[in-house]
Every structure is written in structure tokens, then in C-alpha cells.
Amino acid sequence: QVQLVESGGGLVQAGGSLRLACAASGRTFSPYVMGWFRQAPGKAREFVASIIWAGSSTSYADSVKDRFAISKDNAKKTVYLQMNSLQPDDTAVYSCAAQPQIYRGSNIYTNWGQGTQVTVSS
């Protein structure tokens, strides 16, 4: 069973940067898409960014498009999220998730990490 573990969250001031990492355990790991999501207090979970695991295509939410960058290291089974120019509205629990190959073409992710807290002070 694949386990995803996020790290790299913390407290930063507005304008600062953080780099999140999501490491997958297990002997084999071959999702179609790896994605980052976030959930702020009192709000629904929202999509942040995604990357095709076996390729290089990326996708971003409009709110982070010019500030965040998703990347990956297939050999390390790790996905990263570089977050620059952080704003208080970016405060949330950030989680990574995997979409199995069977769900290609959908928005369904079935494997989720526990999340890492990102807090941006004004």
C-alpha cells in the first residue's frame, strides 16, 4: 500500500517562500498524476497544482499560477511544491495526492498524505 508523507510546512511572513515535499513509500509507485491540494480553516479543499508522473505536463490553479511551481524526482518518488511570494490567503493545510492510472482523465485522487501546515503571517 502506497503511503504519502508531506513535509516542509511552517510559519513564514508574507512575501516569503517555502518548499514542500511529498515522499511516497512502497516498492512500486506509478500513478498517472501527482497533485497538491490545500484546505484553509472553514473552507473546502481546493486544487493547487499537479504534474504527470511519467511525463512533464503541469497544471496550476489560477491563484498560484505565477507564484508556485510543482516538480518531481521519480527516482526518489518525491513531488515538490515551491511556493514563492506567499500571502496570508495561502495559509492552509497542504496535502499531496496520487491519481491511479485507472482514473486517468478524471479528477479522482485515491491516495492522500496527512498534510503539512503552511501559515503565512501579514
The three three-digit cell numbers of residue 56, written as one number = 512533464
| DSSP conformation letters of 37-94 | EEE-TTS--EEEEEEETTS--EEE-TTTTTTEEEEEEGGGTEEEEEE-S--GGG-EEE
- Residues 6+ away with beta carbon under 8 Å from 107: 47
**Predicted pLDDT of residue 7:** 98
And the C-alpha cell for 119?
501559515
Return the C-alpha torsion angle 115, 5, 2, 56, nearest 10: 90
Q: What are 12-64's pLDDT values in tens digits?
A: 999 999 999 999 998 889 999 999 999 999 999 999 999 999 999 999 999 99
